[in-house]
């Protein structure tokens, strides 16, 4: 059983204030490895204003838990904090009214890399009072003498509409727990954010697996997209006067995926994201009554990003675009909106960086602003419109100096079959002669994309003199439905040759020493690293795999994937049901072809990439006389959470690279 929820451990307000207003404290010279491996000073996307702008809130991560901090904006003092227990994290939180926050709890258990939702909801007032365990399975268990208790529920709650009504209740979806393997349908209910009282009888969601939902002004679900387990998306709609759900789109017949994103002010229309063959994802306005749609923004090369909402949350003023260089920026929907004018002024104030409003007070006077770039891990500011003042709140990594970080350049090439592939090259500062190169394929693999941003691993390696190449091989996200689908059944095939083609293209473009190229990755990236030295031994001089999967047969037969229709369909889409095909594309079966030095990093409690993968890879390499450098931590999972063990893993990784392609290489 998970640890009990006891959020009220003592937490120094002086420490918090120092953290919130920390400046850049990095000393001149080389930053220590720990500067890149420790948690960021603030959880990305967590800085928010209360509706009136009286309070600023954020989530502060640490090595084994996270904390929700509420700051009184006028006094610059911490007014409330929830400091969670070991293994517990704030998954998300919402200002449900002017002075109250509801947060969702996640836990790190077993060997999963990402903490998973426990289905629990907790409430707290901005002044630190009104602490209440609102919903969850712990119920009347001992939660700490200063926390009010609730009735235990063998279910999970999901916040669907955080704006509390006059009765101080919010719209939630309830999923009862079962052991059938298939996800149950979500029941709609209203949860009182003060007492935790649950009012059921709101009906149920029409789809089993939900992607996005849209709530109307009446605080009821208007539109929902998702699947019933067949992996084919549908968009359903239910107007205020409708008794039944109507199907607005069915991927099975239309070939398109339509996901509702936000309402259009004063209209039945809503903004939606469309995915279809032949083009990147684009933005439309959709009228559910007439079924007519209007294209708002059609990018040329890259999928749209998030939709940015106005201060009152009743419309959108911009959408994030990654077209062109791929660095990102805003395309404005309403060119005269106050939020648009603010965004343009911020962009002029921070040339060469992305400066984006992240939240607003209801009246638009105050805004939180995030500024970041390839060399800037993130700065968080507060903007006061009436005073015309922008104030720095904190930096994500105060001991990293952006002036000494490595520049990241966009990279583009043609794969051997003519497909256009994008990526990024991180270049170390003032290299002495030709540079060693680390090729770093991302994990996932499907739908994940490397962006123009401060990447901890890439910046750490670049600080040690290595150029780093990141390739968004086919199957990656960000470039349309066809690009993702092009990666199906291409593990060890075209996904792999995209990486080798990109490496050769980088060798031709940059001052890289072709005799000093290594490949390193995490999860799927580790698979690609081992396949790289097996299939292109003359290109890669070493390989390092961290939390990797190395046997496709083991993946295909995983119980968790075979237990649901969704999982079985996914496996059949991605892998052939052919033992010979699976063996031919598994590094464990190709060990005899691997002549280069190999490093394997793995955790004994990894449930995403079970340790059987690393054991099989190690055994296979030992069997052909190429024993790998072996770093095994029995109590770690998919990526090391313990700070000392994570620091040790990256320190040993750098030692491995230095020995094989770095300054110590012979």
- Where residue 439 falls among pLDDT bands split at 50, 70, 90? very high
Q: Average of pLDDT values for 476-500?
A: 97
pLDDT of 245 > 90? The answer is yes
pLDDT of 4 > 70? The answer is no
Domain boundaries, the chain: 1-153, 406-551+586-660
CB 162 within 8 A of CB 134: no
Q: Give pLDDT tens digits for 302-313.
A: 999 999 999 999
CATH 3.40.50.1820 fits 406-551+586-660, yes or no: yes
Q: Average of pLDDT values for 44-73?
A: 93
- Among 81, 82, 94, CA closest to 46: 94
- Where residue 84 falls among pLDDT bands split at 50, 70, 90? confident
Q: Average of pLDDT values for 540-556?
A: 96
Q: Give pLDDT tens digits for 141-190.
A: 433 334 555 667 889 999 999 999 999 999 999 999 876 667 789 999 99
Q: Give pLDDT tens digits for 252-301.
A: 999 999 999 999 999 999 999 999 999 999 999 999 999 999 999 999 99
Which tops the pLDDT comparison, 108 or 616? 616
pLDDT of 7 > 60? The answer is no
pLDDT of 26 > 60? The answer is no
pLDDT of 3 > 60? The answer is no
User: Residue 19 has what pLDDT?
Assistant: 39
DSSP 558-593: -HHHHTSHHHHHHHHHHS-S-HHHHHHT-GGG-GGG
User: Residue 229 has what pLDDT?
Assistant: 74
Least confident of 2-16, 249-263, 605-619: 2-16
User: Residue 183 has what pLDDT?
Assistant: 79
User: Residue 643 has what pLDDT?
Assistant: 87
Mapping DSSP to helix (H, G, I), strand (E, B) and coil, where does residue 359 land?
A: strand
pLDDT of 608 > 70? The answer is yes
Q: Average of pLDDT values for 464-475?
A: 97
- Where residue 559 falls among pLDDT bands split at 50, 70, 90? low
User: Residue 535 has what pLDDT?
Assistant: 97
User: Residue 22 has what pLDDT?
Assistant: 40
User: Residue 1 has what pLDDT?
Assistant: 27
User: Residue 5 has what pLDDT?
Assistant: 25
pLDDT of 2 > 60? The answer is no
Find where tokens 């990141």 sit.
470
pLDDT of 568 > 90? The answer is no
User: Residue 14 has what pLDDT?
Assistant: 30
Q: Average of pLDDT values for 625-654?
A: 94
User: Residue 15 has what pLDDT?
Assistant: 32
Q: Angle 494-509/524-535 helices, nearest 10 degrees?
A: 70
Q: What tokens appear for 75 in the block?
A: 């006094």
Half-sphere exposure of 262 (CA within 13 A, CB side): 17
Q: Average of pLDDT values for 228-254?
A: 93
User: Residue 181 has what pLDDT?
Assistant: 65
- Rounded to 5 degrees, what are φ and ψ at 126? -65, -25
User: Residue 501 has what pLDDT?
Assistant: 98
The CA distance from 130 to 108, in Å, is 27
Rounded mean pLDDT of the chain? 90
Find where tokens 């409708």 sit.
242
CATH 2.40.128 fits 1-153, yes or no: yes
Percent of the chain surpassing pLDDT 90: 79
- Among 451, 425, 455, 429, CA closest to 438: 425
CB 95 within 8 A of CB 50: yes
CB 236 within 8 A of CB 247: yes
């Amino acid at each position: 059983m998970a640890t009990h929820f006891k959020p009220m451990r003592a937490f120094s307000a002086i420490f918090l204030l120092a953290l919130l207003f920390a400046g850049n404290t990095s000393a001149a010279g080389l930053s220590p490895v720990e500067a890149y491996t420790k948690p960021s000073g603030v959880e990305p996307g967590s800085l928010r204003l209360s509706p009136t702008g009286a309070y600023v809130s954020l989530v502060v991560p640490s090595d084994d838990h996270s904390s929700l901090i509420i700051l009184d904006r006028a006094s610059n003092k911490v007014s409330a904090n929830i400091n969670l227990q070991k293994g517990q994290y704030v998954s998300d939180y919402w200002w449900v009214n002017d002075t109250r926050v509801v947060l969702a709890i996640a836990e790190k258990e077993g060997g999963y890399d990402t903490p998973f939702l426990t289905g629990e909801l907790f409430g707290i007032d901005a002044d630190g009072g009104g602490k209440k365990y609102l919903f969850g399975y712990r119920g009347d268990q001992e939660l700490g003498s200063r926390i009010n208790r609730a009735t235990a529920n063998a279910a999970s709650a999901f916040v669907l509409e955080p704006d509390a009504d006059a009765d101080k209740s919010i719209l939630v979806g309830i999923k009862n727990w079962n052991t059938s393997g298939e996800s149950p349908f979500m029941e709609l209910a209203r949860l009182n954010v003060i007492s935790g009282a649950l009012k059921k009888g709101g009906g149920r969601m029409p789809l089993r697996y939900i992607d996005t939902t849209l709530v109307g002004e009446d605080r009821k679900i208007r539109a929902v997209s998702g699947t019933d387990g067949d992996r084919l998306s549908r968009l359903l709609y239910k107007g205020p006067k409708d008794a039944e759900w109507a199907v607005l789109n069915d991927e099975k017949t239309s070939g398109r995926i339509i996901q509702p994103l936000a309402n259009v002010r004063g209209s039945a229309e809503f903004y939606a994201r469309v995915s279809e063959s032949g083009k990147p994802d684009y933005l439309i306005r959709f009228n559910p009554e007439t079924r007519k749609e209007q294209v708002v923004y059609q990018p040329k090369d890259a999928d749209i990003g998030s939709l940015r909402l106005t201060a009152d949350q009743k419309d959108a003023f911009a959408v994030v675009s990654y077209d062109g260089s791929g660095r990102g920026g805003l395309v404005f929907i309403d060119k005269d909106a106050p939020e648009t004018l603010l965004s343009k002024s911020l962009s002029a104030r921070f040339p060469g960086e992305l400066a984006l409003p992240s939240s607003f007070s209801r009246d638009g006077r105050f805004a939180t602003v995030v500024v970041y770039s390839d060399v800037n891990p993130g700065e968080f500011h507060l903007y006061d419109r009436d005073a015309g003042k922008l104030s720095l709140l904190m930096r994500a990594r105060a001991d990293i100096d952006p002036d000494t970080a490595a520049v990241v350049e966009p990279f583009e090439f043609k794969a051997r079959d003519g497909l256009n592939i994008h990526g990024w090259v991180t270049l170390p500062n003032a290299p002495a002669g030709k540079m060693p190169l680390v090729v770093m394929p991302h994990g996932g693999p499907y739908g994940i994309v490397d962006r123009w941003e401060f990447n901890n691993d890439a910046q750490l390696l670049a600080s040690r003199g290595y150029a780093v190449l990141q390739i968004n091989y086919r199957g990656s996200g960000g470039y349309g439905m066809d690009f993702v689908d092009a990666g199906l059944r291409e593990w060890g095939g075209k996904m792999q040759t995209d990486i080798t083609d990109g490496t050769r293209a980088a060798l031709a473009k940059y001052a890289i020493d072709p005799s000093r190229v290594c490949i390193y990755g995490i999860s799927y990236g580790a698979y690609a690293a081992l396949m790289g030295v097996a299939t292109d031994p003359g290109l890669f001089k070493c390989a390092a795999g961290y939390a990797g999967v190395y046997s496709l047969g083991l993946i295909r037969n995983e119980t968790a994937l075979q237990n649901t229709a969704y999982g079985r369909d996914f496996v059949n889409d991605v892998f052939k049901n052919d033992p010979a095909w699976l063996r031919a594309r598994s590094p464990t079966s190709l060990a005899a072809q691997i002549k280069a030095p190999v490093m394997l990093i793995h955790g004994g409690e990894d449930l995403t990439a079970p340790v059987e993968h690393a054991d099989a890879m190690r055994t296979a390499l030992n069997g052909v006389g190429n024993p790998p450098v072996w770093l095994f931590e029995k109590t770690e999972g998919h990526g090391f959470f313990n700070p000392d063990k994570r620091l040790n893993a990256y320190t040993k990784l750098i030692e491995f690279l230095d020995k094989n392609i770095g300054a110590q290489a012979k």
